[in-house]
Amino acid sequence: MSAVRDFVRRLTHQRGANFSLGFRLLPADKRRAVYAAYAVCRVADDLVDEGTDTPPERRQEQLDAWAREVEATYAGHPSHAVTRALAEALERYPIPRSAFLGLIEGCRMDLTFRRYATFSQLERYCQLVAVTISEISLAIFGATDPQAAEYGRHLAMALQLTNICRDVGEDAGRDRLYLPLDELEAHGVEERAVLAGEVDTEAYRRLMAFQCRRASEYFLAANELPHHIEADSRAAVRVMGGVYRRVLDLVASDPVGAYRRRVELPPRQRLVAVLAGLAGQPFVRG
């Protein structure tokens, strides 16, 4: 089992560097469970994003197979290194099967939806690919009351919207646009221009300022989450949210630069985020 644990730990550290800063602060049992859960989600995401040379129909089949593997794991029959790690976590934590299956459905949307007309449509996508992860995480972190779910939803939305703001250029390279089309129009930004990288304009900066403000409002709404989970998980959640909020700040300060190169948090700011989380600081000061 140690080899399986090492595999999901390495995968999480390599592919989820921002998340893993917080994960390292969890107790060993919770940390192993989170690594396993992250790896299950990562496999589904990679089937869509890393297999761009594979026809969409084949990737749909692969997602179907991964959903069956998740179902088999819950039935006690995992056959993959990642799901064997998940099976160990399920012995201790009540992680809902529906959350993993919902995330897989969200990944499936990336094969069929490349534009979102309104924020309401985008919100449904975020519900599947991000709020489901909050449900998985809270089952491990330990919610102490029902309010944790709502605060967790706010943080999940904040993290996903940060990813969307950070990855506009990368997504455009895949002919995907997660910025709502009606909001582009309202800010005088053409869809064609975003896809072509013609973003060095005041209109685009205003659009991204609006997007980043909305993400920041979700961080603010999530501030109370650590008070509604078990004490040994609070620092991890504060650090994870704090890292992402600082990434959002970098995108907001230079959205054109963020389009052209992936924003990474410098080591000093990562350290500041960790120290702020350990000190109990909120994600955003109200």
pLDDT 10s digits, 7-17 = 788 888 777 67
Q: Give the pLDDT mean for 59-65.
A: 95
Residue predicted with more confidence, 18 or 42: 42
Q: Of 2-11, 25-34, 135-144, 277-286, where does mean pLDDT reach its minimum?
A: 2-11
Where residue 1 falls among pLDDT bands split at 50, 70, 90? low
Where residue 141 falls among pLDDT bands split at 50, 70, 90? very high
Query: CA nearest 132: which of 111, 112, 109?
Result: 109
Is the separation of the CB atoms in 81 and 7 below 8 Å?
Answer: yes
pLDDT 10s digits, 21-35 = 889 999 999 999 999
Q: What is the pLDDT of residue 55?
A: 87
Q: What is the pTM of this model?
A: 0.95
Residue predicted with more confidence, 90 or 49: 90
Q: What is the pLDDT of residue 125?
A: 97
- The domain 113-286 having CATH identifier 1.10.600.10: the answer here is yes
| Sequence-distant contacts of 206-211: CB under 8 A, at least 24 apart | 207/179, 207/183, 208/165, 208/168, 208/251, 208/252, 208/255, 208/258, 209/252, 209/255, 210/183, 211/161, 211/164, 211/165, 211/179, 211/183
Q: What is the pLDDT of residue 19?
A: 75
Residue 99 has pLDDT above 90, yes or no: yes
The residues, any chain, with a CB within 8 Å of residue 248's CB and separated by 6 or more, are 158, 162, 165, 166, 212, 215, 216, 219
Q: Give the pLDDT mean for 247-265.
A: 97
Q: What is the pLDDT of residue 4?
A: 77
Residue 51 has pLDDT above 70, yes or no: no
Average pLDDT, the chain: 94
Strand partners for 143: 229
In whole angstroms, what is the distance from residue 174 CA to residue 119 CA? 20
Residue 3 has pLDDT above 80, yes or no: no
In whole angstroms, what is the distance from residue 82 CA to residue 186 CA? 44
In whole angstroms, what is the distance from residue 277 CA to residue 279 CA? 5
Where residue 120 falls among pLDDT bands split at 50, 70, 90? very high
Residue 57 has pLDDT above 80, yes or no: yes
Q: What is the pLDDT of residue 8?
A: 80
Q: What is the pLDDT of residue 211?
A: 98
Q: Where in the chain is the domain with CATH 1.10.600.10?
A: 1-95, 113-286
Residue 207 has pLDDT above 80, yes or no: yes
Q: What is the pLDDT of residue 222?
A: 98
Query: Fold for domain 1-95?
Result: Farnesyl Diphosphate Synthase (1.10.600)
In whole angstroms, what is the distance from residue 85 CA to residue 5 CA? 6
Report which DSSP code applies to 229.
B
Q: What is the pLDDT of residue 200?
A: 98
